[in-house]
Amino acid sequence: MQAQSRRKFQRYQYEAPIQYLYLQPDRYYNSRALNYSERGLYFESFQSLELKSQISIFMPNYSSGATGPDAFQSYLAVIRWCKKISEKKSSRFGIGVEILEKSHERPTPLEIQKRQACDLCDAKLLTDSVCRIDGSICLCPDCYDCWDEMPEGKVKDGIKRFLDRNVL
């Protein structure tokens, strides 16, 4: 009997250099991507990356006519998992990211610094990718989807008052 895959999207083998920004807007780290899917990318790093944190990924081999990850110059992604690679002398980590945004342009350091936190889960986001409710509450796309699916009523109103910091 074959094991069922928990993945939503098919993975494709792919090896190419990448650069990523993590926590410091002016410090690029070099790495190699090893596979990808429609909404994710796997690469290896010499540092552990914190779950749910966001990184900017750049493709040095970008080509507007390419297929696969090289078809875009940059990605905004969130770390979904990070595991130490179990080789005796290895100090590498396998990193799985979910792609949030794709771009044919490379953002400037100023754009990368314009980050904001989700009012519900505290995920760090670029201000352009933050959803707003009534102009005052900032939610990441995941929290916004949950909010949108929540039925109207006292519970939703109470959460909105809490997020507005108006709990009286």
108 and 118 both lie in a single domain: no
For 125-148, the pLDDT digits (tens) are 655 455 555 555 677 777 878 888
Check which CATH number belongs to the domain holding 79 and give it. Answer: 2.40.10.220
Residue numbers of the domain that contains 143: 114-168
**In this predicted structure, what is the pLDDT of residue 3?**
47
- Domain final position from 112, 142, 157: 112
Q: Residue 36 is which amino acid?
A: Y
Task: Name residue, tokens 């519900």.
Answer: 120
**In this predicted structure, what is the pLDDT of residue 95?**
95
Give CA–CA dist 168/156, Å, rounded. 15
**In this predicted structure, what is the pLDDT of residue 81?**
93
26 and 13 both lie in a single domain: yes
- Percent of the chain with pLDDT strictly greater than 70: 73
Give CA–CA dist 143/135, Å, rounded. 16
| φ/ψ of residue 128, rounded to 5 | -70, -20
Q: What share of the chain is helix, strand, coil (3-state, %, to 5)?
A: 20, 40, 45
The mean pLDDT value of the chain amounts to: 77
For 24-79, the pLDDT digits (tens) are 666 778 888 999 888 899 999 888 898 888 888 988 888 878 888 888 888 989 99
Q: How many domains does the chain have?
A: 2
73 and 86 both lie in a single domain: yes
| φ/ψ of residue 149, rounded to 5 | -80, -15
46 and 106 both lie in a single domain: yes
108 and 141 both lie in a single domain: no
Across the range 158-165, mean pLDDT stands at: 74
121 and 103 both lie in a single domain: no
pTM as predicted: 0.60
| Terminal alpha carbon distance of the chain | 57
